[in-house]
Amino acid sequence: MSAVTPKMVETLGRRHLMLFSGRASQDLATEVAHHLGIECGDVDLRDFANGETYARFQESVRGTDAFVMQTHSAPVNERIMELLIMIDALKRGSAKRISAVVPYYGYSRQDKKGRSREPIAAKLLADLLDVAGADRIITIDLHSGQIQGFFDGPVDHLTALPVLADYIRENEPGELVVVAPDAGRVKSAEKLAGMLGQPLAFLHKRRSREVANQVDVHEVIGDVDGRHCVMIDDIIDTAGTIVKGAEVLVANGAQRVTAAATHGIFSGGAIDRLKNAPLAEIVVTNTVPVPDEKRIDKIVVLSIARIVADAIRAVFEDASVSEMFNDQNQV
């Protein structure tokens, strides 16, 4: 048997990164691929007449580090199932390592039992991703950081706060105060306030346990009189929390109110509520696609493509994600 030369070993050990996208994240994935200096891999994705999803990768994935991106936007269950099927196809195609890149993690608000006989759907989804074959999860601004503990494998939990902070610093006028719309967002608000070097306030609210998406805001804790208030949240869904919060802040003397959030879902009548709300601007990122018909003048959509690309590069090179971002991109 002939000896194996160092050059042969290097060639045999060379790793190959491939990025694929489900139908929910194609624009973001294309932008991420550009930052990585690659092109997105080709996937045949289609639905059968009965609604079942089909996925086939159009090139070999054997031995690759495969990253498959799919955000859980509406229709949520179809997007999740498509992601699971793509992961399964990668596993059966002998991909060496599979990372699920999930900009918005669905069911993240069902992370605990509030009442008896309720599910913990965020944990169920983590189990489904694990069984499908995902070795790693990359996601952005989970509703609760503890959801990372639902996974047995590694989770890179990124945050869009640096992107939001840069925009606010450059574009929002006047004396600022960062406002947490509820107690659950105080940690994020504290971090944003620290980035901006501005004070903090928060709203005390009570959410109805019987009626979904119904919120009652009671009082403002902190000084907002004459200030420009920036409310920070992880998700704007039906916009009930943000709109009621803005109304309370204005009633307490706020001069201007801006809403900032990572995930702009804008379900149901959210856009009509935002149109009529005392909000100067609503700043979100492209973790969830915002269609043209929902892009009213108040809405600004920022890109998180570079953050995702840097995280993918770090994972592929077995480098530290937190060190790459100086611990500013982890929560």
Q: Say how far apart CA 126 and CA 141 lie, in whole Å.
A: 16
Q: Say how far apart CA 100 and CA 49 lie, in whole Å.
A: 27
Q: Say how far apart CA 265 and CA 262 lie, in whole Å.
A: 10
Q: Say how far apart CA 14 and CA 166 lie, in whole Å.
A: 38
Residues shown for the chain = 331
Return the closest-CA partner of residue 88 out of 187, 175, 22.
Answer: 22
Question: In the chain, what is the greatest distance between 2 CA atoms, to the nearest angstrom?
Answer: 84
My answer on whether omega of the bond before 278 falls inside 30° of 0, hence cis, is: no
Q: Say how far apart CA 215 and CA 248 lie, in whole Å.
A: 12
Return the closest-CA partner of residue 129 out of 159, 105, 145.
Answer: 105
What single-letter amino acid sits at 93? G
Helix (H, G, I), strand (E, B) or coil at 44: strand
Catalytic residue among 205, 275, 294, 298: 205
In this structure, what token pair is assigned to residue 167? 């925009």
Q: What is the DSSP string of 119-165?
A: --HHHHHHHHHHHHT-SEEEEE--SSGGGGGG-SS-EEEE-SHHHHH
Q: Which helix (H) or strand (E) holds 114?
A: none
Q: Does the active-site annotation cover 187?
A: no
Q: How far apart are the first and last CA of the chain?
A: 53
Any idea which residues carry the catalytic annotation? 205
